[in-house]
Structure 1
Amino acid sequence: MTSKTLLQIENAQVNYLGKATFDQLNFTWNEGQHWAITGDSGRELTAFLETLRGTTHLPEGRIWRPFAADYISQKTEDGSVHSFRDLIAYVSQQYRFRNKSNLQNFYFQQRFNSSEADEAATVREYLKENSTTNPGPWKLEKVSDLLRLTPLLDSSILKLSNGETRRLALALGLLRQPKIYLMDQPMTGLDQESRAAFGDFLQAIISEGIHVLITTSSAEIPEGITHVGGLKSGGKMEVWERENYSLNKGQNLDIHWNLKLLNTLLEGFPKIENEVIRLENVSIRYGEKTILNQVNWQVNAGERWQLKGKNGSGKSTLISLLIGENPQAYSQNFWLFGRKRGSGESIWELKRPIGFVAPELVRFFPANQTVRKVILSGFFDTMGLFKKTTAEQESKANQWLQLFQLETFANLPIQRIPLEQQRWTLLARALIKAPKLLILDEASQGMDERQRVIFRETVQKILELTPITLIYVSHYQEDIPENVDRIFEL
C-alpha cells in the first residue's frame, strides 16, 4: 500500500532573500513520515523550511501540497479567505515580542526592570491573544501542561529565560491547530533536561496527527523522527530512514580568518590585575519569586569561566547584574573591577570595560541599524549607532568586517542577514573596544555545526592571544573553548 503524499518539491530552482540558493531541489514527504533535516549551512536549512512554507521564489520547478487540498476545497466552497499556511505551524529561530500597544519592540533593559513588566502581556494573555479559532485538540491548558508553561502563565513574557521563550514559541505553534509543524533548530537554547524531553514533546504531538519536520544538528535527532535528510550545497539531499542513519560528526576545523589581521586587532587588549567580579550573598527577587538566592562568586583577572545552569536557574539575571542592566545591583554586595556598585559610577563607566554577546540582542536594535552601525555601536555601548564616529573608529570597524568576512553585509540591516552573520557581527561589536571582560551568552546559538566549531576555535584563539577575562554560557559542552577551565553552576 502506497503512502499518501503530503507535500512534494520537484526539480525546483529556489531564490531565498534575493539570492539563488538551490538549483535542483527535490523532496517528497509522505504520510506517517517525520523528518529531521541536517546540513552544513544554517542559511540553506532555513531556506528549505521557507520553501515548504511558500515564502521563497521558484523560477523553475514545482511544489505540491496535497495535505491542504481538502481544506482549500472546503474553504473555497464556503467562500472563506484561506491559505494552505492555515494548516502549518512554524517556529523560526527569530521571534520578536511587542508591547501591549503593539507600537514598538521592547528595549533590552526592560527585561530586568520589574516596574516595567506591565508593558508586556503575561504568558497566559499572550497565548490567548495568539490562538486560532480553528477547531482542534490543542487548548491552552493542554499546551501549557505539555510544554511546562503552567507555572509561568501569570509571568510577564519579558521575564522569560531564553529556553522558556523557546517553549512559548512552540506552544504558540500548537495553538494554530496545525496539520504540519515546521521547526528551525528547535532545541537551541534548551538545557540538557529540556532537550531530552523534546522527544516526548514530538511524540505527544505526533500522536494527535501532526506531521513534524525539524532542522537540527546531526548529533541531535530526537525520538519520534522517522526519516533524516542530509541537505547538501545547491539542494541535493541524501535521505535515510532513522534506523539506518549514522551520526555525521562535525569536524574539528581550523579557523579560516586572516590570522595576521586577527593578531593586529587583538594587540591593544589591556592587562589588568586582581579581581574582576565579586558577589557576596547576592539575592534577586521579583515580587514573591526568588531568582538568585545568596550567590557568592569571585572572578579574578585573566580567568576563563563557564557559567552553567538549567533554563530558568538565573543565568540571565546574573549576567544582567554584570553588564549593568539590573537595577537591583545597587542594593547588593557586588563589586566590578574592585569597585562596589552604587559608589557613584555611571552606567557608561560600568559598561566600557565589558564586551557582551547574546543572540537576543539582535531584536533590540532599531530596524535601520546596519551591520556596520551595529559594530561601531560597540564603542559607545548603545543599542545602535547614534553618535558621529572618528576615522580611526571607522577603520577599526572595517578591519573587523574584513576579518569576519562581513563586507557584503555591511550596509544591510542586521535583522535581515542570516543568523550566523548576525553572531559574528555581535562578536565584532563586543571586541571592537578591546574589553577587559568578555561575556558570551549562548553566543553561537543558531549557527550550523561547522560555524559553531569555527566560533569556538575563534574564541579559543582570542583567549590565547589576549589577557581577557571570559564568562561563557552554553548548554553544549562541545561549544566550550579548551582554555575555559573553571565552572560556576547555578
Structure 2
Amino acid sequence: MQSLINISSAKVVTKGKQVFESLNFNWEKSQNWAIIGTSGADMTAFIETIRGNSVIPTGEIVRPFAKGYTGEKTSSGEINSFRDLIAYVSQRYEIRNKSNQQNFYFQQRFNSSESNDTATVREYLLEVNPKVSGPWTLKNVSELLHLEHLLDKSVLLLSNGETRRLALGLGLMRQPRIYLMDQPMTGLDVKSRAEFGEILKVVISKGVQVLLTTSANEIPEGITHVAKLSGKGIEKSWEVADFHLTAKHEQKLSYDWELLDSLLPKRPNENDEVIRLENLSIKYGEKQILKNLNWEVGSGERWLLKGANGSGKSTLISLLIGENPQAYSQNLWLFGRKRGTGESIWDVKRPTGFVAPELSRFFPANQTCRKVILSGLFDTMGLFKKVSAEQENLAREWMTLFHLEAVENIPINRLSLENQRWTLLARALIKQPKLLILDEASQGMDEFQRRLFKETVQQICERSAITLVYVSHYAEDVPEAVGKVMELD
C-alpha cells in the first residue's frame, strides 16, 4: 500500500525540549487516524512533527504524498513546499481584522457597532488562496459545516462553536490532500459532536486523508485507525474495529488542597441575591438571541448553564461580567443592584471571576503567566501597574498551587493550552470573587488535566461559599457540587 508519511526512529525536539524518544509512524493511503494520549502537549507535538515544525536530531521523516507535486513544481522553477498540500486546524484559532491585526479587546464581541473592521464569514473563506485546485467551494463548504446563515456575519460575533466550524471550513478551502486537526471537537455541543463524524466522512469521500487528535472516548466515524502516544512515541495502534477504550489514565487527582483552602475567600453564605433576570431579551439587528429570560441565583448556589451552540450562552455571560452594553436596557440585577443605576463597570467586575478559553487571545503579546495572574487583581486584560510585595507573593502562591512556577515568565500565548487554562483560573480566583463563571474552562486539556480541573472546582466549592456558574457541553466535566441547571433553548 502507498505510504503517505513515514517517521522512523525519530528523536523529536520541540521548543528546545525532547518530546519523543523514538517515534515510529507509517501513514498509508486510505488510512484515517485518531491520535489519543494522556498529554495534550504530546499530541500537539506529534501533529507539529508531521507539519515539519519540530527538530529531528536522529531518525527521519519522509513525505511521499508530496513527492510528485514538489518534483513537478521544482522542475518548472516554482517555489513549493509539501505544506501546500496540508490543511491544519489548531486549538489556537485566531481572528484578525481587515488590517490583519489581532488587536481586538474582549468587549468588541458584544458591541456590534465596533465590528465593521472585521471580515465576514464569507470574506474570510474567500480570502484563502490555495496552492492547488480541488473540490471545495464556498457553497459546498458552507453547506457541509452549516455556515450558510452566518456568511454575512462578522467573524468577531461568532460563538465559540461557530468559530470552530469556520476554522474547519478555512482548512477545506485550502484544497488539502492531508487534513490535520488538533482536538477538532473541542467547543462543540453534543449534537454538533455527533454530526462531526458525518462531516468527516464527506471530507474523506472527496479524497482527503485525515489525522486528528482526540480523547479515547470520542473516536468519530470515518476514522479507520487509532494510535496511542506516550513520551517514547507510539505506544500502541489499532484498526478502529479492534480498538477498545483503554483504562482511564490513573494519576493522583490532587493539588495542595490546604494551600487552596488558605487562598479562597472566607465569607459566610449569606443567602444574598447574586443574579436576577426578569424578562430579559437581547437582539442583534433582527436576530433574537435571548427572549423573556427569567433567572435567579442566590449566594453559594452552583449552577450548570447549558444549551446548544448559538443558544445565547455567551451573550448571557457577557451581561453577567459587564461586557455587554445592552445590560443597561434590561431588568438585570447583579449582587442586589440593578444595572444602570450609577455603578461603574469595575463595580460589576470586582466581585466576579471569569474564565473562558478565548480570553487568552485578548492579552497583549508581552503578558506573561505571572502578569496575567496579577491582572486579575485589577480586572484588566494585562498588568499595567506596579504591584506590591504582598500581591507578588499572592500570585506566587497561586503559581505554586497550579505548578506554574517554571512558566511564570513565558507569554500566555506561548504557554501550552493546559497551562493557559490554569493561568486563567488563577487570574479569576486571585481576587477572591463572590461569583465564579467558568465557560468551557477546561477546553483543550487532555483527559487527566480535565479530571484534575473538575476536582479542583469541586474542592473550591467544598472549601468556600463561592457562587458558581459552570458551562460545559460535557456532562462528565461537571463537578458534583453543581446541583442546579439553567438550560437555554
TM-score range (shorter-chain normalised) is over 0.9
2:297 alignment partner in structure 1: 299
One-letter code aligned to 2:141: V
Contact 2:353 2:436 in 1 (8 A): yes
Q: Hey, what's the Cα distance between the residues in 2 that align with 1:41 and 1:234?
A: 12
Q: Hey, what's the Cα distance between the residues in 2 that align with 1:166 and 1:103?
A: 20
One-letter code aligned to 2:259: L
One-letter code aligned to 1:459: V
Q: Hey, what's the Cα distance between the residues in 2 that align with 1:339 and 1:252?
A: 46
Contact 2:188 2:473 in 1 (8 A): yes
1:132 to partner: Cα distance:
1.9
1:394 to partner: Cα distance:
0.5
2:48 alignment partner in structure 1: 50
**Uncovered stretches (5+) of structure 1, i.e. residues with no partner:** none
Structure 2 residue matching 1:379: 3-state secondary structure? coil
Question: How do 1:160-309 residues align onto structure 2 when only pairs under 5 Å count?
Answer: 160-250=158-248, 254-268=252-266, 271-309=269-307
1:448 to partner: Cα distance:
0.2
1:106 alignment partner in structure 2: 104
Q: Hey, what's the Cα distance between the residues in 2 that align with 1:271 and 1:98?
A: 44
Q: Hey, what's the Cα distance between the residues in 1 that align with 2:246 and 2:389?
A: 47
**Per the alignment, do residues 344 and 171 of structure 1 end up closer, same or farther by CA in structure 2, a change over 3 Å counting?**
same
1:439 alignment partner in structure 2: 437
Q: Hey, what's the Cα distance between the residues in 2 that align with 1:165 and 1:250?
A: 30
Aligned length: 488
1:127 alignment partner in structure 2: 125
One-letter code aligned to 2:178: I
Q: Hey, what's the Cα distance between the residues in 2 that align with 1:364 and 1:467?
A: 30
- Indicate the larger mover: 262-271 or 318-327: 262-271
One-letter code aligned to 2:64: P
Q: Hey, what's the Cα distance between the residues in 1 that align with 2:103 and 2:28?
A: 40
Give me the TM-score of the superposition, normalised by structure 2: 0.98
- Indicate the larger mover: 92-101 or 358-367: 92-101
Structure 2 residue matching 1:163: 3-state secondary structure? helix
1:103 to partner: Cα distance:
3.1
Structure 2 residue matching 1:454: 3-state secondary structure? helix
1:355 alignment partner in structure 2: 353
Q: Hey, what's the Cα distance between the residues in 2 that align with 1:22 and 1:457?
A: 29
1:421 alignment partner in structure 2: 419
**Uncovered stretches (5+) of structure 2, i.e. residues with no partner:** none
Contact 2:23 2:233 in 1 (8 A): yes
Percent identity (aligned): 64
Structure 1 residue matching 2:395: 3-state secondary structure? helix
> After superposition, what is the alpha-carbon deviation per residue over 1:160-207, rounded to whole angstroms, capped at 9, x for unaligned?
000000000000000000000000000000000100000011100110
Contact 1:357 1:440 in 2 (8 A): yes
Q: Hey, what's the Cα distance between the residues in 1 that align with 2:316 and 2:448?
A: 30
Q: Hey, what's the Cα distance between the residues in 2 that align with 1:123 and 1:345?
A: 36
**Per the alignment, do residues 267 and 308 of structure 1 end up closer, same or farther by CA in structure 2, a change over 3 Å counting?**
closer
> After superposition, what is the alpha-carbon deviation per residue over 1:46-69, rounded to whole angstroms, capped at 9, x for unaligned?
000000000011111100000000
Q: Hey, what's the Cα distance between the residues in 2 that align with 1:401 and 1:179?
A: 43
Q: Hey, what's the Cα distance between the residues in 2 that align with 1:353 and 1:234?
A: 46
One-letter code aligned to 2:337: R
1:255 to partner: Cα distance:
2.7
Structure 1 residue matching 2:248: 3-state secondary structure? coil
Q: Hey, what's the Cα distance between the residues in 2 that align with 1:154 and 1:133?
A: 26
Q: Hey, what's the Cα distance between the residues in 2 that align with 1:252 and 1:284?
A: 45
Q: Hey, what's the Cα distance between the residues in 2 that align with 1:277 and 1:130?
A: 44
Question: How do 1:9-88 residues align onto structure 2 when only pairs under 5 Å count?
Answer: 9-88=7-86
2:318 alignment partner in structure 1: 320
> After superposition, what is the alpha-carbon deviation per residue over 1:238-273, rounded to whole angstroms, capped at 9, x for unaligned?
000000000125357543211221121125456443
One-letter code aligned to 2:73: K
Structure 1 residue matching 2:116: 3-state secondary structure? helix
Give me the TM-score of the superposition, normalised by structure 1: 0.98
Q: Hey, what's the Cα distance between the residues in 2 that align with 1:243 and 1:398?
A: 48
Structure 2 residue matching 1:118: 3-state secondary structure? coil
Q: Hey, what's the Cα distance between the residues in 2 that align with 1:138 and 1:451?
A: 37
2:410 alignment partner in structure 1: 412
Structure 2 residue matching 1:243: 3-state secondary structure? helix
Q: Hey, what's the Cα distance between the residues in 2 that align with 1:332 and 1:385?
A: 32
Question: How do 1:334-353 residues align onto structure 2 when only pairs under 5 Å count?
Answer: 334-353=332-351
Structure 2 residue matching 1:119: 3-state secondary structure? coil
Question: How do 1:368-383 residues align onto structure 2 when only pairs under 5 Å count?
Answer: 368-383=366-381
1:156 alignment partner in structure 2: 154
One-letter code aligned to 1:312: G
Structure 2 residue matching 1:74: 3-state secondary structure? helix
> After superposition, what is the alpha-carbon deviation per residue over 1:330-389, rounded to whole angstroms, capped at 9, x for unaligned?
000000001000000011111000000000000000000000000000000000001111
One-letter code aligned to 1:428: A
Q: Does 1:401 align with 2:425?
A: no
1:457 alignment partner in structure 2: 455
One-letter code aligned to 2:417: L
Q: Hey, what's the Cα distance between the residues in 1 that align with 2:80 and 2:348?
A: 53
Q: Hey, what's the Cα distance between the residues in 1 that align with 2:439 and 2:184?
A: 18
One-letter code aligned to 1:285: K
Structure 1 residue matching 2:115: 3-state secondary structure? helix
Contact 2:121 2:152 in 1 (8 A): yes
Contact 2:21 2:231 in 1 (8 A): no
